[in-house]
Amino acid sequence: MSVRIEIEARCGDARAGTLFVRGLRVPTPLFMPVGTCGTVKAMAPGEVWDDGSRVILANTFHLLQRPGLEVLERLGGLHRFMGWDGAILTDSGGYQVFSLAARREVDDDGVSFASPLDGSRVRLTPAFVVEAQGRIGSDIAMVLDVCPPAEAPAEVVEEAVRRTTRWAREAVRAPRREGQALFGIVQGALDVGLRCSHLEELAALPFDGLALGGFSVGEPPPRRAPVLAAVAPRMPADRPRYLMGLGTPGDLFDAVRAGIDMFDCVLPTRNARNGQAFTAAGRITIKQARYREDPAPLEEGCGCLACRRFSRAYVRHLYACGEILAARLLTAHNLAFYARWMSKLRAAVHAGTLDTLEGEARTATAPAT
């Protein structure tokens, strides 16, 4: 396998270990910052690395649009293009395509859509998506899947699962760049039985890892949690388990407890650009008046770019003035917070004390008091 995982500790269904990818040994569970277009917004690649990240996510859909496969190939692939020394996982772009409801047409062989950039017709098939990710040069590729809305009728969800399975089988037969891993994606919305049967189908295929997709698409968290708890522990134990798109500190705690190894989410970076900082005491909304003269760092004891030198008052001033530095400092802090949180979750799994972090997980997710 081009990617493999070794499990070193368990705590109930939770597990901790090492992901071997691109010559790196990455501790799991791990969090991947989202670098949709080949950049983690507001950050230089070296800063992302310094904040503790070793794997980032980029998006095939957006990279197809800009700069395009030919440019990426001529310039040596995405790692060299963006100057990133870590590993890269590319999403297939399926979620983005299916969010373009008025612009796309789906059939059993793939999906066609009008480019949001220039209106030109684009056709994605399972084989082309694998080829495209090979040309991008990512370390882990995702299959093309159908992501149904959270509250879609049963027949729509069943059709999405059927097509996702068909496309998964085509993807594993497609030519693939040597050394690139391929992950399948389990769908099924909030139907536990359908999720489990789809998982069995995909687990029988020669994927390097499996992901749970179709969460965080509008479903109520109280309905999502029992589905995740029922399905995640059934995923193959010898392959990486990836939960796509979820990412509050509480979400990460719940999913780690269910046995997930890998995560991505826009939350730490998007919330940073909207003036929010994650801390162990809760989310800080920096524009609030109470921080106008606050001399404390965003979080005591944090060694990030923001907390080493700057006060909450200064970051608030930057944000109020629309300064780019505000986004940079808040993003650096949030990525450092997420890296620490994952480290704390890993240590708790190794120590057999994961459940003791539940209160901290809920506090870190809620607004600061």
What residues are labeled active site? 91, 264
Q: 243 with 228: CB under 8 angstroms?
A: yes
Rounded (to 5) percent helix, strand, coil in the chain:
40, 20, 40
**Distance (Å, rounded) from C-alpha 312 to C-alpha 331?**
14
| 123: three-class secondary structure by DSSP | strand
Alpha-carbon Rg of the chain, whole angstroms?
A: 20
| 326: three-class secondary structure by DSSP | helix
Contacts 24+ apart (CB under 8 A), 353-358: 353/11, 354/11, 354/12, 354/14, 354/253, 354/256, 354/257, 355/257, 357/253, 358/253
**Distance (Å, rounded) from C-alpha 259 to C-alpha 13?**
5
Burial of 233 (0-12, 13-18, 19+ CB in 10 A): middle
The alpha carbon of residue 123 and the mean position of all alpha carbons in its chain are separated, in whole angstroms, by 25
**Distance (Å, rounded) from C-alpha 9 to C-alpha 24?**
19
| The Cα angle at residue 82 between residues 302 and 133, in degrees rounded to 5 | 115
Q: How many residues does the chain have?
A: 369
Residue 202 CB coordination number (10 Å)? 24
**DSSP E strand boundaries for 170-252:** 181-186, 209-212, 241-243
**Distance (Å, rounded) from C-alpha 64 to C-alpha 116?**
12
| Nearest-10 Cα torsion for 320, 322, 294, 298 | 140
**Distance (Å, rounded) from C-alpha 145 to C-alpha 165?**
8
